[in-house]
Amino acid sequence: MLVQTRGLVLRQTKYGETSVICSIYTEELGLQSYLVNGIRSSKAKTKANLLRPMSLLQLVVYHREGKNLQRIKEMSHDYLYQQVLFDIRKGAVGLFMIEILNKVLKEESPNAALFDFLHTHFVDLDLQDQPLTFYPLLFMLRLSGHLGFLPHIDQQAHHFFDLEEGLFTTDRPIHPNYIGRPQSDALYDLIRYVRQSDRPPQLDKATRKVLLGDLLRYYELHVEGFKKVNAHAILETVFSA
């Protein structure tokens, strides 16, 4: 069966001398793996960099239910990046986003709302003319909403954030997986911004760094098999320069 779909490339792995296997999150088919023969050959009409992580593509694919590796009939750019591949900060944020997605996207079933969210955020990252200091934090919070565990907030309690339960409390949790003040106050303000599109809070670099680590812990608790994120360290290096 031939299917036309948009796709976001998550991973490319060399296969043999001239081929690659790509993990692509597609709009119509969800997460799929594709074997692309000969694309690394010097004679290939389509070059392998078209399938680099972060690429947004228009695809025509052969799809067979139950098959682990699918095939691509046609592919082209859906959106051609202007800055992400050349701007070190945007590139670092984009690779962080891709690493998070590689750890959380596991379903083959399509999710049009999630795909639109991802497509919008990668294009927005490329076009962004504002500082990127909040971008990784906001991406993780907004993504958690699509994955079903966006933290709950109310107007009464935000002294502590319980990482296991995903909510704020006035009392310190009895387990060690929580955030205390002042980071819980900062997280509360960020979530309110995500939910209500209020003005973004003013957070210093140290607070943003700690919060990013806290959100990674939050994902570890709510996403099965979520492991250490290496791009986290790259982000810290790039944004401290």
Tens of pLDDT along 155-183?
666 789 999 999 998 889 999 999 988 89
Residues 6+ apart with CB under 8 A from 114: 146
- The pLDDT > 70 percentage for the chain reads 95
Q: Which fold has domain 2-79?
A: OB fold (Dihydrolipoamide Acetyltransferase, E2P) (2.40.50)
pTM of the predicted protein model: 0.92
**pLDDT, tens digit (0-9, with 9 covering 90-100), for 209-221:** 899 999 999 999 9
Specify the pLDDT at position 195.
79
Specify the pLDDT at position 113.
96
Domain with CATH 1.20.1440.120 in the chain: 88-240
**pLDDT, tens digit (0-9, with 9 covering 90-100), for 107-149:** 778 999 999 999 999 999 999 988 888 899 999 999 999 999 9
CATH number of the 88-240 domain = 1.20.1440.120
Specify the pLDDT at position 157.
64
Domain with CATH 2.40.50.140 in the chain: 2-79
Q: What is the sign of the dihedral through the CA atoms of 31, 36, 42 and 46?
A: negative
Buried b (16+ CB within 10 A) or exposed e, 86-110: ebebbbbbbbbbbbbbbbbbeeeeb
